[in-house]
Amino acid sequence: MFYFDPTYLLWVALPAMLLSLLVQGRLKSTFAKWSRVPNSERYTGMQVAQMIFNRTSLNTIPLEPTAGALTDHYDPRANVVRLSEPVCTQPSVASMAIAAHELGHVQQYQTGSPMIAARSFLLPALQFTPTISYMAFMLGFALSLVGLMWIGVFFFGVVVVFSLLTVPIEIDASRRGLKLLEDAGLLDTPEERQGARQMLGAAGWTYIAAAATSLMQLLYYVSLVKRSGRSRY
């Protein structure tokens, strides 16, 4: 079966694993570094978020703590920002940057970002496209039905488009977050600006790595279908 194809290991599995390790290592080391550096206002991430709501045009929404580290996210369905325990409690540059990034997502939704609208349009399809993709591809491969394999590739392509679209959305949220910090008067020193940029840049690479991995997997599937098609003649 194609699961044990050496080509997959060489061109997808190993590069994806190495890329993930590098990106996660960079993110954790950057977070550890800037978690030890207090921001000049001594605000925790929760307080930073509240200050941004108070000092900018952003509409206030609920803020909630959530368990774990680097588990921060904005939930558009519940319209709530959830901040991880370290971000909630530590008055660090890292906490400030992460909280601002999540509020950057809030601003995207509140201002009707076209990129958010495009991803929201694809979101319902993500509930079933991965399952259809893998089932169609595996069944097509097992039965040597190239057409069915192409159907699997098509549905996996939807997943890839979603992953690729996430990258500019996350970069835009970081850009908005930095602007919100500036507008709220919370970036007082060059060190804070540097730390916030480094923290958000490291986080952004996780989405780039995920998109690159999904794209590599899609290209592998395409090459496998083409090889299967040629083997029939």
Under the banding of pLDDT at 50, 70 and 90, the label for residue 232 is low
* SS3 label, residue 184: coil
Catalytic-residue membership of 85: no
CA atoms within 13 A on the CB side of 149: 20
Q: What is the pLDDT of residue 2?
A: 45
- The predicted-structure confidence for 63-92, as pLDDT tens digits, reads as follows 999 999 999 999 999 999 999 999 999 999
Q: What pTM was computed for the model?
A: 0.91
CA pseudo-torsion sign 137, 143, 148, 150: positive
Dist. CA 206–CA 209, nearest whole Å: 5
Q: What is the pLDDT of residue 111?
A: 97
| Range of weakest confidence among 7-16, 92-101, 111-120, 207-216 | 7-16
- The predicted-structure confidence for 142-178, as pLDDT tens digits, reads as follows 898 999 999 999 999 999 999 999 999 999 999 999 9
Cross-strand pairs, 73: 82
Catalytic choice (41, 64, 102, 191): 102
Q: Determine contact, residues 94/31, Cβ cutoff 8 Å.
A: yes
Dist. CA 203–CA 38, nearest whole Å: 19
